[in-house]
């Protein structure tokens, strides 16, 4: 089948009549997926929210399957993979789960190695690629480099990267390397690129897409204009005060569900405050941990998945629901709980030990001072080690110690924007209170754009400065 016939097959798999920009994209993707395309090629697809990137990609996936071409869908987080798989109607996995071998439990230090790609002539499609960093202190790996190594170690395999350059870049960086043509070429890849700017017709009545498009266009202007969101005339965007927030969240829980509602805020400190308020005032929970509790995994963990079929590791950013609490204890100055967790994105249960101190920590995971004290206490535990136990032996033992490897988790009702990135929820509340005018630069634009595009149905802006809200009777 030549590229023209394959383009027609993609076209026929679209659920609507494509616009001219989408037709050009279909033709470009068909050429890229052709066996005549160089095997060291990568296709970079960026664009505005609501331009049909995901819809065209879904049609491409179905066309590839009809032609019996192996296709692999990947995303940086479990929630992003679930959303992507649902859109494409094809199973999706996290990048980590696909490309890394499980770490060697006998090794003193081990974070997993890149596996071999066994496929030939496969097309790898990676969604939310703007989240892929070039380095990670958590795993001591270069995720982008490892992904490229894995994909192109297969015979004739190629990769499509989907992303949005207007979203927040990986933590600690000013831009996303996976969205950077020069960075990809530095890995020896031939880069094809398409940028989607035409919002599809459905976006005309969506305040979420209207405001996302305005923000993205404004980011290209110099000087950067004052950000202004339009809320009137749209049924999917509302503004409320902080006093109204508890009633509105309770209403969202009753209609959309706790699993489809999220509060997005600017810092871990504010996320902790929102989480505690939601648990006490809306969910009516007095205990520190309850059955049905929604938790967010704060750090990759490899121990507890070892005995669970189909679960290679528990990833930072995974959502977990507490199904049973077996008991709690305090050791090494840290509070722990033995629980059974359900990972809804994978429909898997796992018994594990979790840290309770991280639930209310104002840091991304265990606070650095507590972590240092905990590490020192467990490393010098007289019940585990003699004074003559070598450090290498101690570290090897700690690799399988349940306390040292306790899962670090936080409440998952309110999260930072970085933690929300890659996910989608029906109802999103964006905390916009107390943002100083001098803080409304390009980083704020990216933060706001990323936050509002997490919503699929309803967006509620909480306590914004009146200067950030536009009231107009016309659509101009």
| 40 and 157 assigned to the same domain | yes
Residue 181 · residue 128 · CB < 8 Å: no
Q: Are residues 333 and 393 in the same domain?
A: yes
Count of structural domains within the chain: 3
Give every CB contact of residue 468 below 8 A, 6+ residues apart in sequence.
Answer: 227, 228, 229, 432, 435
Tokens 């990137």 found at: 53
Same structural domain, 396 and 452 = no
Helices (H), 342-407: 368-379, 391-398
CA 264, CA 267: separation in Å to the nearest integer?
9
Q: What is the CATH number of the domain that holds 239?
A: 3.40.50.300
Tokens coding 461: 């802006």
Please give the average per-residue pLDDT across 2-7, as a whole number: 92
Burial 138-162 (b: 16+ CB within 10 A, else e): ebebbbbebbbebbbebeebbbbbb
My answer on whether 306 and 210 are in the same domain is no
Q: How far is it, in rounded angstroms, from Cα 453 to Cα 433?
A: 19
Domain assignment of residue 34, yes or no: yes
Residue 289 within any structural domain of the chain: no
Nearest-angstrom CA–CA distance, 431 and 101 = 39
Domain boundary among 387, 411, 435: 411
User: Both 389 and 449 in a single domain?
Assistant: no
**Domain presence at residue 475:** no
Please say which residue of 143, 178, 200 terminates a domain.
Answer: 200
| Residue 288: inside a domain | no
Q: Is residue 91 part of a domain?
A: yes
In whole angstroms, give the CA distance from residue 328 to residue 107: 30
Q: What pLDDT score was predicted for residue 200?
A: 72
**Burial class of 335 by CB neighbour count within 10 A (0 to 12, 13 to 18, 19+):** middle
Residues 6+ apart with CB under 8 A from 409: 295, 296, 297, 298, 320, 354, 355, 358, 359
pLDDT in tens, 373-382: 999 999 889 8
- Chain centre distance of CA 331: 33
The tokens for 257 are 């569900």
Q: What is the pLDDT of residues 95-122, one digit of tens each?
A: 988 998 765 544 433 456 899 999 999 9
Tokens of 473: 């009777």
Q: Give the residue-averaged pLDDT of 398-413.
A: 94
Same domain, 192 and 214: no
Whether 406 and 422 map to the same domain: the answer is no
C-alpha–C-alpha distance, residues 97 and 29, integer Å: 26
Task: Please answer whether residues 302 and 313 qualify as being in contact, where contact means their C-beta atoms are separated by less than 8 angstroms.
Answer: yes
Residues in a beta bridge with 295: 320, 411
Percentage of the residues of the chain whose pLDDT score is greater than 70: 94
Residues 398 and 322 in one domain: yes
- Kindly report the average pLDDT of the chain as a whole number: 90
Residue 3: its H or E element: helix 3-12
Instruction: Give 171-229 pLDDT, tens digit per residue.
Output: 778 889 999 999 999 999 999 999 998 877 555 689 999 999 899 999 999 999 988 99
Report the helix count and the strand count for the chain, using DSSP H and E. 14, 18
Question: At which of 200, 218, 241 does a domain end?
Answer: 200
One domain, residues 113 and 25: yes
Longest dimension (CA), the chain: 78
d(CA 143, CA 388): 38
Domain that holds residue 327: 294-411
The reply to whether 49 and 176 lie within a common domain is: yes
Better-scored residue on pLDDT, 465 or 141: 465
In a domain? residue 108: yes
Q: Token pair of 373, please?
A: 């004290």
- Tell me how far apart the alpha carbons of residues 3 and 6 are, in angstroms, rounded to a whole number: 5
> How do residues 251-291 score in pLDDT, each as one tens digit?
999 999 999 999 999 999 999 999 999 999 999 999 999 99
Kindly state whether residue 132 falls inside one of the protein's structural domains. yes
Nearest CA to 152 among 207, 189, 185, 201? 189
Query: Do 155 and 30 have their domain in common?
Result: yes
The answer to the question of residue 349 being in a domain is: yes
Does residue 1 surpass a pLDDT of 80? no
Mean pLDDT over 59-75 rounds to 96
Please say whether the beta carbons of 265 and 271 come within 8 A: yes
Instruction: Say yes or no to pLDDT of 476 above 70.
Output: no
Q: How far is CA 195 from CA 21, 49, 267, 422, in A?
A: 9, 11, 31, 19
Lowest pLDDT segment from 133-137, 177-181, 441-445:
133-137
| Distance of alpha carbon 437 from alpha carbon 14, whole angstroms | 44
Residues 297-340: pLDDT tens digits? 998 888 998 888 877 778 888 899 999 999 999 999 999 999 99
330 and 456 share one domain: no
């Amino acid at each position: 089948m030549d590229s023209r016939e394959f383009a027609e097959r993609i076209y026929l798999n679209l659920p609507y009549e494509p616009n001219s920009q989408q037709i050009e994209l279909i033709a470009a993707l068909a050429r890229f997926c052709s066996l005549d395309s160089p095997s060291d090629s990568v296709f970079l697809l960026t664009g505005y929210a609501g331009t049909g990137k995901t819809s065209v990609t879904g049609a491409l996936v179905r066309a590839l399957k009809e032609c019996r071409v192996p296709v692999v869908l990947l995303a940086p987080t479990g929630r992003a993979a679930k959303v992507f798989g649902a859109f494409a109607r094809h199973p999706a996995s996290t990048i980590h789960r696909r490309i890394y071998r499980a770490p060697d439990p006998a090794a003193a230090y081990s974070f997993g190695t890149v596996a071999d790609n066994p496929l030939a002539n496969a097309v790898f499609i990676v969604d939310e690629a703007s989240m892929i960093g070039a380095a990670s202190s958590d795993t001591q790996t270069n995720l982008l480099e490892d992904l490229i190594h894995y994909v192109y170690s297969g015979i004739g395999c190629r990769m499509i990267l989907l992303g949005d350059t207007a979203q927040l870049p990986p933590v600690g960086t000013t831009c996303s390397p996976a969205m950077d043509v020069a960075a990809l070429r530095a890995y020896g890849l031939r880069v094809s690129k398409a940028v989607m700017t035409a919002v599809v017709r459905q976006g005309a009545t969506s305040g979420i897409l209207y405001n996302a498009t305005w923000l993205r266009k404004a980011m290209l202007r110099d000087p950067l204009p004052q950000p202004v969101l339009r809320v009137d005339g749209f049924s999917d965007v509302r503004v409320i005060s902080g006093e109204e927030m508890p009633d509105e969240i309770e209403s969202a829980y009753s209609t959309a569900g706790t699993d489809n509602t999220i509060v997005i805020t600017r810092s871990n400190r504010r996320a902790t405050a929102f989480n505690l308020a939601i648990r006490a005032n809306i969910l009516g929970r007095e205990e520190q941990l309850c059955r049905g509790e929604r938790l967010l995994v704060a750090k990759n963990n490899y121990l507890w998945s070892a005995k669970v079929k189909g679960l290679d590791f528990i990833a930072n950013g995974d959502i977990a629901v507490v199904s049973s609490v077996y008991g709690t204890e305090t050791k090494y100055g840290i509070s722990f709980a033995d629980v059974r967790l359900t990972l809804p994105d994978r429909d898997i249960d796992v018994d594990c030990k979790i840290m309770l101190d991280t639930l209310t920590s104002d840091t991304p995971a265990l606070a650095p001072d507590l972590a240092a004290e905990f590490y020192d206490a467990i490393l010098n535990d007289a019940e585990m080690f003699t004074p003559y136990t070598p450090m290498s032996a101690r570290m090897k033992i700690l690799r399988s110690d349940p306390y040292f490897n306790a899962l670090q988790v936080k409440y998952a009702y309110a999260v930072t924007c970085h933690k929300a990135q890659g996910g989608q929820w029906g109802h999103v509340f964006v905390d916009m209170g107390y943002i100083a005018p001098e803080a409304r630069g390009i980083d704020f634009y990216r933060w706001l754009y990323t936050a509002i595009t997490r919503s699929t149905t309803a967006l509620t802006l909480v306590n914004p400065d009146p200067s950030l809200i536009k009231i107009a009777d016309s659509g101009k």
